[in-house]
Amino acid sequence: MADQFSIAEISRLTGLASHTLRYYEQQFPVLLNVERSRGGHRIYRQRHLDTINSILRLLKDEKLSIKKARKVMGEPDEIEQPAQAVAVEPRGDATDLNHVLLMVLERLDHICRSNENHDKLLLSLLRNQPCGQKDELLDQIARCRLETRETVKLCQTVMQQRFKSSN
């Protein structure tokens, strides 16, 4: 069985048009986070094919809407934006510090909620996968947790710089 598939191959295997596959990528951006080749072509994996088949089952067999299918599949309601370094102009007042801390706490809360959704989905998939595919799913969990740790470190750095500049 092939390890990589083009959009044309996925289209042939699922019976879906290429534009429908691209639409599903927009609707399920976490689950169908498809890699790209150097030339910009989509590279699908077996897990993407499995996910597309699960989506089709929910939409066609169970007659769910895309919104409900997203929820069942564990796709987050809002898509997390990559963490960006934000320059905070220190003013030295308590209001500014409180604002920064609130932003940090909101971001961490969002990450934790997103991780809960990912964990539910991955555990559900783990139960239904042969042993060989479990390693790939565990790698996804590890990458997710690494992203969380990096974000926490970024927040800690911003907070430490803020405290140093206010002293």
- CA–CA gap between residue 10 and residue 23 (Å, rounded): 14
Residue 29 domain boundaries: 7-73
Q: Kindly state whether residues 63 and 101 are assigned to the same domain.
A: no
Please count the structural domains in the chain: 2
The answer to pTM > 0.85 is no
Share of the chain above pLDDT 70, in %: 57
Bigger pLDDT: 7 vs 137: 7
Q: Please identify which residue in the block is written with the tokens 């409900």.
A: 68
Are residues 66 and 99 part of one domain?
no
pLDDT beyond 80 at 81: no
